[in-house]
Structure 1
């Protein structure tokens, strides 16, 4: 194995780590609590676009449960980053504009993480590679 191949392998392992750790973290900290305690979360969720608590919570669950699972698997990873990035930007800029960077640091770090995945893609250690190019650029 030459240096170029080692660099590519290290990049793919790094992207795998980023996808899996970031996706599972978002799922565990935000997604599963919303999904598993849906009725209590209906009373707590902010509704900045006046869509109704049920639809807003359902969209948040889509972004924080289904999308991280797709990213972890490496299927449509770039596309799956978009709802997450949207939810993060809404939370940071519309729902909590009064937060300092320190107060919103978790959200900003997630924004950096999922923007990185969006830019770099899932890498070669992803299920999309197994699907004959159907998801190659997603």
Structure 2
């Protein structure tokens, strides 16, 4: 859902989204939007295939925390429920990791450091 609802529209409408994106840390709209696209498009793909799963959840979690705390602090629990739900889901993935059928599981036999990520 993160990929389809938030990521792909940002990717396909990059120029339009530049005018809409909030920049809470003053990095500039282009860099902020690029980082959001990385967290909302590429990281969910890595997670879905099970490649560097735990590492891929970190940008997503950072993006969600920033959006809930700095970008939309006025949201009530009802208004921010999708963000809170995603925080719970991606935190669970961070703790639990991918699964035994994940692509990263097969690669970790060749490169043991990958199993830690």
Structure 2: unaligned runs, 5 residues or longer:
none
* Equivalent residues in 2 for 1:32-51, closer than 5 Å: 32-51=8-27
TM-score, scaled to structure 2:
0.95
Match of 2:67 among 88, 91, 95: 91
TM-score, scaled to structure 1:
0.81
Moved over 4 A (4+): none
Alignment partner, residue 35 of structure 2: 59
Q: Give the alignment's Cα RMSD to 1 decimal.
A: 0.8
* Equivalent residues in 2 for 1:1-138, closer than 5 Å: 25-131=1-107, 132=109, 134=111, 135-138=114-117
Tell me which of the two structures has the higher relative contact order, counting C-alpha pairs closer than 8 angstroms and 6 or more residues apart.
1
Once residues 27 and 46 of structure 2 are traced to their aligned partners in structure 1, the CA distance between those partners, rounded to angstroms, is 25
Return the index of the structure with the highest Cα Rg: 1
Structure 1: unaligned runs, 5 residues or longer:
1-24
2:77 match: secondary structure? coil
Cα shift readout 1:16-57 (whole Å, capped 9, x = no counterpart):
xxxxxxxxx110011100000000000000000010000000
Cα shift readout 1:46-83 (whole Å, capped 9, x = no counterpart):
00001000000000000001100000010100000000
